[in-house]
A = this chain, B = another copy of it.
Amino acid sequence: MTPLWRRVVAEGLGTGLLVTVVVGSGIAAAKLSPDDVGLQLLENSFATTLGLAVLILMIGPVSGAHFNPVVSAVDWWLGRGTGSGLSARDLAAYVPVQISGAILGAVLANLMYDEAAVSWSTTERAAGHLWLGEVVATAGLIVLIFALADSGRAALAPAAVGAYIGAAYWFTSSTSFANPAVTIGRAFSDTFAGIAPASIPGFVIAQFVGAAVGMGLLALLYPRAAQAADAVVIPHEVTTGASK
């Protein structure tokens, strides 16, 4: 197993770059395609689909490439009975660094586009139908990740998770944040992908509700998924230099 400090660095870096991809491509899209918000979202989702897949490929062998407190929490929860998956100590280390990384990723995107390092987003995203969108988005993400792990296909997770988020930008009304760390990070940029700080709690709560719904669906579809918690930490079919 890779040492915890290295996994924590990896989670911070990966979550940060994920927010850089989301916020940065959103800034570019809004600047370059000012006349059509749909085209902006198409550009933003194109970049996110590819960028998220690449980041999971890049970081997966080190830390599992969760980039998401909800994914880490579910991994810990499912594996707690069997001693597999993320330990409580790991979880306590992953989550703060995911959040910190997300904030720094937004700052990096702002700086690359010559904006102020921090500008609080003024985009309100608070309504029942948007929270329903987050519940759906997060439930689907949880089912996808643990279904792949349970069926021995964790090597497909990079492309699959990227594709899932790219589609969910479109089919959920909330444009699928599905990630508390990324939600917090996106509050630090008053641009296309931003979310007003006051809208964060509603989104995060909806994401945890979605995670619970996802675990319920997993229990129906993949009754042994709990034993796959290990494969979400680091996909087993990847041979890493670090573990040679």
Contact = CB atoms under 8 A, between A and B. Distances in A.
Contacts of A32: 36-38, 41
Interface stretch (A55-63, A89-97, A182-190): A55-63
B172 A6 contact: no
A144 B57 contact: yes
A42 interface: yes
A109 interface: yes
A241 B222 contact: yes
* SS class, residues of chain A in contact with chain B: helix
Interface string A13-37: 1000100111011001101110111
B114 A29 contact: no
A24 B62 contact: no
Given A32-B38, A51-B171, A244 B224 contact: yes
Contact of A57 (B41, B147, B222): B147
Contacts of A113: 129, 173
Contact of A151 (B37, B49, B129, B238): B238
